[in-house]
Structure 1
Amino acid sequence: MPIKYVIEGHRITGPAAFWQAVGEAVNGPGGYFGRNRDAFADCLSGGYGTPQDGDFTIEWRDHDVSRRALGTAFFDELVEIMEERAPGALRLC
């Protein structure tokens, strides 16, 4: 059974809030899971809180709220990184 990490999209008000939300979703309060696109991509490759075997999902709730807060271009870049580095793991809700 894969581990499920949940990003609460309604908490995302901009890029800094996204980095905080994803860090806490994966590694708990104050957790780190990247603070820029490159670091985020590296973290998705495993070893920074996600299982090395890639057996996890990221459920991004209220993603439409996040898209508006982050801007479509940045949101789409994040989704692309997730689909590239963790194929099949992303669930947009």
Structure 2
Amino acid sequence: MDTPFGDIAARIRWHRNLLGKNQTEYAELIGVKRTVLNNWETGRQRVSLDGALLLRAKFGLSLDFIYAGIDDALPMSLRNALLESPIEIS
């Protein structure tokens, strides 16, 4: 992805798709506007610390995973899902 935050965008999009949610549903689950989530998922805007903390609190996504792609601190169920369905950065 040719955007400044494409790698972060791909990880968030991967997780949303893993849950089978559309952007509106996922945004509602974490308490942000769909337009904010869309900006994260397109890589136009980097996830704020507050946004990353919401993702961590709701889904157990570690900040290391969100920002750097390090999966060590993810719950085992998410690590297994990542192995089964790797993140595609386009």
Tell me, yes or no, whether TM beats 0.5: no
Higher strand share: 1
TM-score (norm 2): 0.32
Q: Considering fraction of residues, name the structure with more helix.
A: 2
With normalisation by structure 1, the TM-score equals 0.31
